[in-house]
Amino acid sequence: MESNIHNYMEVLVGKRFIELNFHQNYTNDQITDMKCISLNQLPTLYIRYSLDMLAATSQKKLMQYDEMVAAAVENAEKMVVNDRRQRDDDFENIVVYAAKDRFELEDEELPFSGEIKLD
């Protein structure tokens, strides 16, 4: 894959972590875990250039992306803070995030069905 293709959500998640000064409150391992958890809740938006993305996207959509990222990062932080691997009580107060926590955009493309019809 081209080296200049990247997921735009990674940019937004990274920006959010900087805004919240997570590097002062969490270890590098915790930050890495939170970034993975955050990104797994968000749609993937592959782009070449961030500037093109900003120019071609409405302000409303950009605000929606920011809100989605803020919620995903908040969920990820809660999950890492409540990490049951670090607790003695294995089954009490376990935080579970279900599929409903995944955000969907109103115009998000449907995944490929795996069926190709060639005539």
H-type alpha helices, the chain: 8-19, 22-25, 28-40, 50-56, 59-81
Contact by Cβ (8 Å): 103, 69: no
Report the pLDDT value the prediction gives residue 1, as an integer from 0 to 100.
Answer: 59
- Cα 42 to Cα 10: distance, rounded to the nearest angstrom: 10
Segment 49-59, tens digit of pLDDT:
888 888 888 89
Per-residue model confidence as pLDDT tens digits over 3-40 = 788 899 999 999 999 999 999 999 999 999 999 999 99
pLDDT at 51: 81
Domain layout of the chain by residue ranges: 6-101
